[in-house]
Structures are given as structure tokens and as C-alpha cells.
Amino acid sequence: MNYIFLHVTNEGFLGALHGDWWLLWSILLFSLGAIGHYLLWGERGDNDCSEVEAERDRYHKAATKWETDYQSVKYQLEESQKAEADFRAKLRACESDKQGLKAAAAAAAVVIPAGDNTRMGIVSGAAAGGSIYAGMFEEDNFQIIEGVGPKVNKVLIAAGYKTWSELAAADATDIRAHLDEAGKKFGLCDPTSWPHQAKLAAAGDWEELITYQKFTDGGRETTGDFVTDSKFEKLAAKKLGFSSANPNDLKVVEGVGPKIEGLLKGGDIKTLSELAAADVNRIQEILDEAGPRYKLANPRSWSQQAGMAAAGDWAALKKLQDELNAEV
């Protein structure tokens, strides 16, 4: 039996492959290599991939947590900055109120005889320098008087008027004579109200002087209407660094330029008083509607500044604007 099996095998299967023996060896070697590769690397490779994927997942989870923490800290920072800005605005408002109360207290001081002043230690508001305009101009500066320009100022000084008190004691007829002597170019000057204006200046009654000048027109009482700008107020505003005391000039507010002024007036905020009464959210809406170019504008203090300007509190406004510029 064995002989017959071997004979059949050799003659049948091996005989059939006698011409292709190399193919058999190739298949055998390839199978052995595949089995060996799987045994050596197959299971290890799967383990390596699992570890890499697990490490990747850990890093992803950590990065996600870091991003969440960053967004949380960023939000807290922004809220803190907003709160700080609000507190600064409130602090400036308190400072402004403080200055206003000080000015009001000085203006309300009782004026009593000089002897009693010494005895009781009480002085008038003007004497205490309570007005924001106290000491702003020299007493030989007659240009604060409506109707007096630089050339007329020189004529008055040459005529012997050295202070407001001396001009206040003068007669308008005498002043007229000095002007006539100076030449025909001073013929249109009307000095009728000059002594009265000088008297108010000498007394430090600046608010009354402003009111009086708004009533007159170029110093002429008969043509006034309380609409004309006060010359003294305009000079005082310029002295403090403001370009204008015009109640319609919104550009005196720090942060408001010609274009923003146009936007505000287009939004029915046309005067300093209206800007002072405007809500900051309404102002922000006007800026937002105008486009992204006004994104950096910060209107938080504009109403407060406008209120100071509308009240003629130029000294407090100057101080506030200096603080705002120092923060930038």
C-alpha cells in the first residue's frame, strides 16, 4: 500500500509540478513570511496605534479645557475693564460735583463789611477767588470788555487808564474824547457801556458781566437781545484751551470732532445742553449707525463734559479733559 501511494504521489502531484517547482517554493516562503510578520508586529502595531490615539485624545481634551479657561478669563477681563471705566466715570462725576459745590459755596458766601471780615474770618466769593475766572486776566486787559479791541486797548492805556477800576470811574464822554484824539478810525466805537463793564470786572462779578455782554451788541445796549455771545466768556474759554464758547459748538467736548459733531446734530443733539441731557446709549446708537469707522469713539464722558461747557464751568472741564487725556 505504501509503495502504491508514493508512486501515485510522485507521478501525480509532483510530476504535474515538475516543471514549476519554483512556484511552490515561492508560495511557501511568502506564507511563512506573512505568518512571521503577523506574529512579530501585528499585535504590537495595534497596541502602538491605540497608545497614540489615547495620547492624542488626552491632548485634545486638555486643549479644549485651556480654550474654555481662556475664554472665561477673557470675559472676566472685559467685564472688569467695563466696570473700571464706569467707576472712573463716576469718580469724575463726583469730582465735577465737588468742584460745582465749591464754586456754589464760594458764590453764596455772605458779603459783609471789611471790618467784620477780619473779625469773623469771612470773605466774599470774589475775594476768596471762588469764581473760575478769578485771576484769569490782568487788570489792564480791557479787551474783555465788549467793544474794546487790541488797538483800543492801547489807546485806553495811553490815556492813563491802567486798571478796570480806573476805567470804571471814567466818564464815557472823556473816553470818547480820547478815542477822537487817536484818529478817525475809532469814530465808530461806542464807549457808553465800557465803564459799567469795567466795574463788573473790577468787582469780580463775572457771571453778571457775561449776562450783560449777551444783552449788548458790540457794547451797545440799545441793540442787545441776550442772544449775542459774551466776549469775556469766549476769551475765557480760549484761555482755558477751548476754541469756542458757542453753545452750538459740540467740538469743545473731548472726543468730538467735526464729523462726529455732524452725526450728533443729525441725530437731533444740536447744543451742548442737549448733549448734556442725552443718554450715553442714544449717543452710542448714533455712532454705531454711522459705521465701523467710529468704533473707537468712547462717548461715556461726553454728556458730563457738555454739562460743564453748557454751565460755563471751563476750569472744571479743562481739568476733566486733562484727566481723560492722561488715561489714553
Percentage of the chain beyond pLDDT 70 is 69
Q: How far, in Å, CA of 55 to CA of 106, rounded?
A: 76
pLDDT of residue 273 exceeding 80, the answer is yes
Give the per-residue pLDDT at 313. Answer: 76
Question: Of all helices (H) and strands (E), which one includes residue 62?
Answer: helix 43-107
pLDDT tens-digit map of 24-70: 777 777 777 777 666 665 555 455 577 778 888 888 888 888 888 88
Ranges 34-43, 139-148, 231-240, most confident: 139-148
Q: In 3D, which of 277, 283, 284 has the Cα closest to residue 307?
A: 277
Give the per-residue pLDDT at 221. Answer: 58
Q: How many Cα atoms sit within 13 Å of 211 on the Cβ side?
A: 6
Give the per-residue pLDDT at 202. Answer: 94
pLDDT of residue 170 exceeding 90, the answer is yes
Question: Of all helices (H) and strands (E), which one includes residue 209?
Answer: helix 206-215
Q: How far, in Å, CA of 59 to CA of 57, rounded?
A: 5
Ranges 75-79, 159-163, 252-256, most confident: 159-163
The DSSP call for residue 308 is: H
pLDDT of residue 225 exceeding 50, the answer is yes
pLDDT of residue 323 exceeding 70, the answer is yes
Q: How far, in Å, CA of 83 to CA of 240, rounded?
A: 31
Give the per-residue pLDDT at 281. Answer: 93
Mean pLDDT value across the chain: 76
pLDDT of residue 103 exceeding 90, the answer is no
pLDDT tens-digit map of 184-205: 999 889 999 999 999 999 999 9
Q: How far, in Å, CA of 130 to CA of 124, rounded?
A: 9
Give the per-residue pLDDT at 240. Answer: 74
Rg, Å, the chain Cα set: 46
Percentage of the chain beyond pLDDT 90 is 32
- Tell me the backbone φ, ψ of residue 217, rounded to 5 degrees: -135, 100
pTM over 0.75: no
Give the per-residue pLDDT at 308. Answer: 87
Q: Which amino acid is at 47?
A: N
Classified as helix, coil or strand, 286 is helix
- How many Cβ atoms sit within 10 Å of the Cβ of residue 302? 23
The band of 119, judged by pLDDT with boundaries at 50, 70 and 90, is very low
- Which set of grid coordinates corresponds to residue 316? 472744571
